[in-house]
Amino acid sequence: MMPPLPKPLLCLLVTPVPPPPRLRFRRLTATAASDNAAAASGTTARERRLAKVREDRRRRQHEQDHTYPGWARVLENACKDDDELRAILGDSIGNPELMKQRIQERVRKKGRMQFNKSKTGSIVAFKVSFRDFNPLNSFIWFELFGEPTDRDVDLLGGVIQAWYVMGRLGAYNSSNLQLANSMLDYDPSYDSDQASGVMPSSFHDIGDVEFQDNWGRVWVDLGTSDYLGLDVLLNCLTQLSSEHLGIKQVVFGGKKMGDWEEGMTNSDYGYKHFKI
């Protein structure tokens, strides 16, 4: 028979031993890791958002550069120096399919034969402005879309010459406009005695039409002609610009326009003129 166990040892056998403590591991997510890394780098949340926006923009630009048609990029670059082409494309720039539709529509309207002509008018209406215009002593300026050819000089010069001849013969007299407001659905009447009794008006003088690069000018003295003559001139230039010679703007008055150089009459430097 075994001897009885001592009390301390008996207590150890009777008292249950607690299980060992479980180890807890902290799992870091990718977001938390990136936040910790960003915090460690010293960047703020706003700076990180801006960096993401820049990266997205670079990615989109890269995709556009590698998928945007080359012909569309050529047209966009050409629009920077061509007002007429920019007017044709309008808000289609950046959309290749819409750009193609605008060009095709332009070709259909103009006609392939006319579209392929070496010279044509402009679909863009020219601007008109006045700068201290004195009807008795002023220049009228014409800005073209490019340097005029000899044919262009003759066209514009011929229009100015015809305009002057009509004014010299008293055509621009608003005091005698008997038929201007008449209805043409019946035979109107004309009072010759009334016409002969009106105070005559006459275009006094005009200079030659001069050109330097893409600018032209003519000096005028309208004399007793009315401003009706200016309306007639602008009507003629509107048709000329639309069908034959593109005009960018017309300026009544002003001492100097563009790079005009007084006294420069050398044809080697782009000077041309039409003798009135």
Contact (CB, 8 A) for 255 and 140: no
Question: Which of 115, 139, 157 is where one domain is finished?
Answer: 115
Q: What's the pLDDT at 28?
A: 46
200-204: list long-range contacts, CB under 8 Å, 24+ apart: 200/170, 200/173, 200/224, 201/170, 201/172, 201/173, 201/175, 201/225, 201/226, 202/167, 202/168, 202/169, 202/170, 203/164, 203/166, 203/167, 203/168, 203/172, 203/229, 204/136
- Where does the pLDDT of residue 127 fall: very low under 50, low under 70, confident under 90, or very high at 90 and above? very high
pLDDT in tens, 7-47: 554 554 555 555 665 655 455 444 444 555 455 555 677 78
Per the structure, the complete domain to which residue 144 belongs is given by: 127-173+201-274
Helices 150-168, 228-243: axis angle to 10 degrees equals 160
Q: Is residue 21 part of a domain?
A: no
Q: 163 and 68, same structural domain?
A: no
Q: 143 and 93, same structural domain?
A: no
Q: 136 and 50, same structural domain?
A: no
Whether the per-residue pLDDT at 249 is higher than 90: the answer is yes
The pTM (predicted TM-score) of the whole model is: 0.58
Q: 74 and 153, same structural domain?
A: no
Higher pLDDT, 95 or 135: 135
Q: Is residue 251 part of a domain?
A: yes
Amino acid at 206: I
Q: 207 and 240, same structural domain?
A: yes
Q: Is residue 101 part of a domain?
A: yes
- Where does the pLDDT of residue 261 fall: very low under 50, low under 70, confident under 90, or very high at 90 and above? very high
Q: 133 and 111, same structural domain?
A: no
Higher pLDDT, 167 or 177: 167
Residue with tokens 């720039």: 93
Segment 107-124 shows an average pLDDT of 62
Q: 257 and 144, same structural domain?
A: yes
pLDDT in tens, 50-98: 888 888 887 777 666 667 787 888 888 888 878 878 888 888 888 888 8
Q: What's the pLDDT at 195?
A: 86
